[in-house]
Amino acid sequence: MAPAGVSLRATILCLLAWAGLAAGDRVYIHPFHLVIHNESTCEQLAKANAGKPKDPTFIPAPIQAKTSPVDEKALQDQLVLVAAKLDTEDKLRAAMVGMLANFLGFRIYGMHSELWGVVHGATVLSPTAVFGTLASLYLGALDHTADRLQAILGVPWKDKNCTSRLDAHKVLSALQAVQGLLVAQGRADSQAQLLLSTVVGVFTAPGLHLKQPFVQGLALYTPVVLPRSLDFTELDVAAEKIDRFMQAVTGWKTGCSLMGASVDSTLAFNTYVHFQGKMKGFSLLAEPQEFWVDNSTSVSVPMLSGMGTFQHWSDIQDNFSVTQVPFTESACLLLIQPHYASDLDKVEGLTFQQNSLNWMKKLSPR
C-alpha cells in the first residue's frame, strides 16, 4: 500500500511474529544459504536458459473488467494448509526471512524520521509487506537493479556467480509460510484469533505486456494477484479507479495514493494487507483520546483499554519500559514506552541498536 504522508514518530509499536519455531540463537546468525541459489539449482537454471525461447507475455485486462470478490475464509484455509506442510528447513527459512523483514522495517523507520521529522499523525508500516514487495520486484529484475534490490533486502552478494544470488521464489514462499504459521496457531485458541490476508495489485498502462512467469511467481507470496490496466495520465483519477476496484474486490478501504508517480508512469505495484487480531480482556473506549506525539503536539485517536497480568520490563537506567501484549502464542504486540516524553529520541535510537529478543528475555509478569 502506498504510505500516508505522515510521521512514524507517534509511537514505536512492533508486531512480532514468533511462529512457534523450534530454533535457537544460531538461526539469527544470517544463514544466507537458506535463501540463495545452490549449485544444483544453478545448473538447472543454466540448462533451462540454454536456447530457451522468450517468456510468454500478456496484456492485463482493463480495470473495469468484472472480477470475482476475494474470499478471505478461503485465503485463511489455504494459509493453514501451507503451515501444515512445512518441514524443519522451511521453518528455519521463515524465521530468517522474518528477521530480515524486521531489520528492513527498522531501517525504513529510521530513514523516515531523519528525512521527514515530526509531522502530525501516524503511519502504519508493515515490514513484511515492504519486504514482500521488494522481493516480488526482484523476481523480475536483472543486472544492476537486481544487485541493488538484493542489497536492500539485506542479503550480501560477493560476486556475479549464481550461487551468490538471492532465490526470490524461496523468499516469497518463506513470507507465505510466516503468514501461514501465524494464522494456523491463531486458530488453535478460540479466544484469540488472527486474520491476515495479502492481495497484490499490479496496475499497468494500457498495452503494457507483463511476463507470465513473473506474475505466476507472485502466487508464492499470495494466491490473489490482480493484474489490471488503466490510464495514468491523470494520477488523481487513476488513484480513485484503483481504490474503487480494490474496495469492490476485497471490501477493504484502501486509500491508494500514487506518490512518486508521474504521467509517464507505466506500472504501480501495490501490496494490500488486511490484519485483525482479537485480544482477550480489551475493549474500545467510547470516545477518541488525545495521544501526545511530543511535548507540543497531540492527535485524537481511538484507544483500547485492558487490565490483566502482562509480561513487562522496566529499564531504570535508560528510562523506558517494555510490555508484551499477546494475540496468540505466536504473535504479540511489543509496546516500548519512554518514561519521559523528552526521552523519545533516545529510546528510538536504542530500539534500532538493540535486539528486541534480548529485551523479551527480561520480561516478567506484572
pLDDT digits (tens, 9 = 90+) for 101-147: 988 888 887 777 676 655 544 567 788 889 999 999 998 888 889 89
Instruction: State the pLDDT at residue 22.
Output: 34
Predicted local confidence at residue 117, as pLDDT? 58
User: What 8-state DSSP symbol labels residue 306?
Assistant: E
Mean pLDDT, residues 186-203 taken together: 75
Round the average pLDDT of the chain to a whole number and report it: 81
Instruction: Kindly state the cell numbers that stand for 1.
Output: 500500500
**Could you tell me the fold of the domain covering 39-44+54-276?**
Antithrombin; Chain I, domain 2 (3.30.497)
Q: What is the pLDDT of residues 291-330, one digit of tens each?
A: 877 667 788 989 999 888 999 999 999 899 999 988 777 6
CATH class given for the domain over 282-365:
mainly beta
pLDDT, mean of residues 68-79: 91
Non-local CB neighbours of 152 within 8 Å, separated by 6+ positions? 104, 134
Is residue 62 very low, low, confident or very high in pLDDT (cuts 50, 70, 90)?
very high
Pinpoint the residues of the chain covered by CATH 2.30.39.10.
282-365
Lookup: cell for 114? 531523519
For every residue of 150-192, DSSP letters joined together read HHHTT----SSSGGGSB-HHHHHHHHHHHHHHHHHHHHT-TTS
Give the DSSP letter string of 247-283. HHHH--------TT--TT--EEEEEEEEEEE--TTEE
CATH 3.30.497.10 residue ranges for the chain: 39-44+54-276
pTM check: above 0.85: no
Query: Rounded distance, CA 200 to CA 244, Å?
Result: 15
